Amino acid sequence: MATHTSSRSQLSYLSEQLNELKKKGTHFRLRVLADEPAPVCTFDGKKVINLASNNYLGLATHPKLRQAAIEATKKYGVGSGAVRTIAGTMKIHMELEEKIARFKNVEASVVFQSGFAANAGTVAAVLGKDDFIVSDELNHASIIDGARLSRATIKVFRHKDTAHAEELLKEVAGKPGHKLLITDGVFSMDGDIAPLPALCDLAEKYGAIMMVDDAHASGVLGRNGRGTIDHYKVHGRVDIQVGTLSKAIGALGGYVCGSHDLIDFLYHRARPFLFSTSHPPSVAATCIAAFEVLEEEPERIEKLWENTRFWKKELGGLGFNIGGVNTPASETPITPIIIGNGARTMEFSRELFTEGVMGTGIAFPTVPEGKARVRTIMTATHTRDQLEQALDVLRQVGKRMGII
């Protein structure tokens, strides 16, 4: 069949912008995975050691989760048929929300279609145009978009700089309107952890709502992966906790934890909840099984941290810049290899791939200009052998390119 090539040029400015990216060397093509998301898998027809996935605990291919998805599909079908507020709330959705609330030891929880939807939908629903949002400069895009959608006044503090956060809170303290202090629990590009106890102190001192996005901490930090609130023991001091079901949990979705009234309010006002169809039953069943695995198989988290310690020590030992100088120092399984220049980072990533290692290059606008990096993420399922092989490749390519 012939495809229609449009002669219209209304979108030609997009092609021009793409050409700019190509000139800069930061244009990319999507790498396509042909088999399972495993530590060794096949991207673009090539078998590689995967250092780029958020599948921290290997749950994306866990037999118990697969089985749960299959059984739920057989029993309940493949789709929910409606948004939650119309006819799309299935018993299994409620079971998942109860499961999460119990796991997190909070009154209630609501599940969204993604972590992105959870953040954006919640911030935009809870705050309005007369309110103020005080936000870490490295917070996730979904927080930034939610803040913009809320039409509240946004004040950005320097990364993890609690004195700066306090200055901003002081500035708005006398004004009417609600104040929200918001941070990622673990920062996704640098792997460092938010100064939660100090931020909670500030929220209490200035009467601000405290909100934490624990996407990269869920299943990674705290007892059985309960996240940064548990890690720092600031239970009861965070009003709104967000987590994702898409990373360590292995499937897809996001959730918000808090008081009964917060959750009931989001049922009524969070736009992704009201206007976008709920998860297929298989996804809800998979996530329920995942929380069971977190409780039953704590050794996965231990292994994740054991691999993480090994990886950071070896990678740093090779002479790579793994953060901590002009960038934050990672404290989690996310370990960036900072290259700086965007084009050089992409070249490094391509060379690694050719040699059998998948480490995705990340450049502006995902990270600041001049701080481009290959971000590596450890998982519980990488074997020591695979890690040693990957280190070998990193050393060779790093030397060849003059990075180390």
Ligand X SMILES: *Cc1c(COP(=O)(O)O)cnc(C)c1O
| Residues at the interface with ligand X (CB under 6 A) | 114-116, 119, 140, 142, 184, 188, 213, 215-216, 244, 246, 254
DSSP type of residue 150: H
- Sheet of strand 334-340: strand arrangement: 334-340, 372-377, 361-362
Selection from 186, 196, 187, 206 nearest residue 132 by Cα? 206
Shortest distance (Å) from residue 385 CB to ligand X:
29
The gap from C-alpha 356 to its chain's centroid, in whole angstroms, comes to 25
Which CB atom, from 294 or from 397, has the smaller least distance to ligand X?
294
Residue 40 or 282 having the CB closest to ligand X: 282
- Rounded least distance, CB 254 to ligand X, Å: 5
Q: Name which of 192 and 213 has its Cβ closer to ligand X.
A: 213
- Choosing from 188, 218, 282, 349, the catalytic residue is 188
Strands of 67-185, DSSP E:
108-112, 132-136, 153-157, 179-184
Kindly tell me the burial class for residue 123, based on how many C-beta atoms sit within 10 Å of its own C-beta (0-12, 13-18, 19 or more). buried
CB closer to ligand X out of 53 and 246: 246
The catalytic residue among 247, 279, 312, 371 is 247
> Least distance in Å: CB of 199 to ligand X?
15
Cis bond leading into 365, ω under 30°? yes
Q: How far is the CB of 140 from ligand X (least distance, A)?
A: 4
Task: Label residue 394 left, alpha or beta by phi (over 0 means left) and psi (-120 to 50 means alpha).
Answer: alpha
User: What is the number of other CB atoms lying within 10 angstroms of the CB of residue 105?
Assistant: 12
Of the residues 216, 303, 371, 382, only one is catalytic, namely: 216
* Catalytic residue list contains 216: yes
At 184, the amino acid letter reads: D
9 is catalytic: no
Spatial separation of the C-alpha atoms in residues 327 and 338, rounded to whole Å: 9
Length of the chain: 404
CA distance 151 to 133: 10
Q: Residue 133 or residue 172: which is nearer to ligand X going by CB?
A: 133
- Per DSSP, helices labelled H in 184-339 are 196-205, 228-231, 260-269, 271-275, 281-296, 299-317
Question: Could you give the angle at the alpha carbon of 382 between the alpha carbons of 195 and 247, nearest 5°?
Answer: 45
| Alpha-carbon gap, residue 305 to 75, rounded angstroms | 37
Q: Could you tell me the smallest distance in angstroms from the CB atom of residue 242 to ligand X?
A: 7
330 as an active site residue: the answer is no
* Residue 296 C-beta: closest distance to ligand X, Å: 23
| Closest CB to ligand X among residues 24, 271 | 271
The residues carrying an active-site annotation are 188, 216, 247
